[in-house]
Structure 1
Amino acid sequence: MGEPVMEELEFLAEILMRHPTDSLRKIAEEEGIDYYRLKRLYDKYYGKYILVSAVYNIRIIGLRSYLAFLSVPSDRILEIGYRMTQNPFVAYVNPAFGFKNGLSAILHIPDDQKDRIDEMLSKYSNDYEYYEVRAYPYSGDDNFGEWNLSYDYAVLMDILNVDARTPITKIARRLGKTRPTVKFMINRLKEMGILVGFDPALENNVHDRSVLGIAETLDESVIERFKEYEIIVGVFPGRGYVIEWFFSSKDDLGTKILEFSNYVDKILINYFDSTFKELNDKNGMTRYSRRVKKDGSGYRSILDF
Structure 2
Amino acid sequence: MTEPVMSELEFLVEIFKKYPLDSLKKIAESEGIDYYRLKRLYDKYYGKYITVSAVYNIKVIGLRSYLAFLSVPSDRIFEVGYRMTQNPFVAFVNPMFGFKNGLAPILHIPDDQRDRIDEMLSKYSDDYEYYEVRAYPYRGDDSFGEWTLSHDYAILMDILNVDARTPITRIAQKLGKSRPTVKFMINRLRSMDIILGFEPILENNVHDRSVLGITKTLDEAVLERFKEHEITVGVLPGTGYILEWFFSSKEDLGTKILEFSNYVDKIVIHYFDSTFKEMNDKNGETRFARMVKKDGSGYRSILDF
State TM-score, norm by structure 2: 0.96
- 1:4 Cα deviation from its structure 2 partner: 0.7
Q: Does 1:226 align with 2:215?
A: no
- 1:98 Cα deviation from its structure 2 partner: 0.5
Q: Once structures 1 and 2 are overlaid, which stretch shifts more, 289-298 or 193-202?
A: 193-202
Q: Once structures 1 and 2 are overlaid, which stretch shifts more, 87-96 or 203-212?
A: 203-212
Deviation by residue 1:88-140 (Cα, 9 ceiling, x = unmatched): 00000100000110000000000000000000000100110000001112232
Structure 1 SS opposite 2:48: coil
Partner of 1:57: 57
CA distance in 2: counterparts of 1:221 and 1:172, whole angstroms? 48
What does 1:96-111 align with in structure 2 at a 5 Å threshold? 96-111=96-111
Q: State the AA in 1 paired with 2:227.
A: F
CA distance in 2: counterparts of 1:58 and 1:26, whole angstroms? 31
CA distance in 1: counterparts of 2:86 and 2:79, whole angstroms? 11
Contiguous gaps of at least 5 residues in structure 2: none
Aligned length: 304
Give the ranges of 4+ consecutive aligned residues of structure 1 lying more than 6 Å apart after TM superposition: none
Partner of 2:17: 17
Q: State the AA in 1 paired with 2:208.
A: D
Partner of 1:149: 149
Deviation by residue 1:72-95 (Cα, 9 ceiling, x = unmatched): 011111111011001000000100
CA distance in 2: counterparts of 1:227 and 1:165, whole angstroms? 29
- Report the CA distance shift for 1:263/1:15 in structure 2 as closer, same or farther (over 3 A): farther
- 1:227 Cα deviation from its structure 2 partner: 6.0
Q: Does 1:247 align with 2:247?
A: yes
Q: Once structures 1 and 2 are overlaid, which stretch shifts more, 34-43 or 46-55?
A: 34-43
Structure 1 SS opposite 2:44: helix
Partner of 1:196: 196
* Root mean square deviation, CA, Å: 1.3
Deviation by residue 1:163-218 (Cα, 9 ceiling, x = unmatched): 11111111111001111100100010011111001121111211111111111222
Q: State the AA in 1 paired with 2:191.
A: E
- Report the CA distance shift for 1:192/1:304 in structure 2 as closer, same or farther (over 3 A): same
CA distance in 1: counterparts of 2:24 and 2:70, whole angstroms? 43
Structure 1 SS opposite 2:173: helix
CA distance in 2: counterparts of 1:18 and 1:277, whole angstroms? 27
- 1:233 Cα deviation from its structure 2 partner: 1.4
- 1:291 Cα deviation from its structure 2 partner: 0.2
Q: Does 1:7 align with 2:7?
A: yes
CA distance in 1: counterparts of 2:22 and 2:243, whole angstroms? 31
Structure 2 SS opposite 1:261: helix
What does 1:271-290 align with in structure 2 at a 5 Å threshold? 271-290=271-290
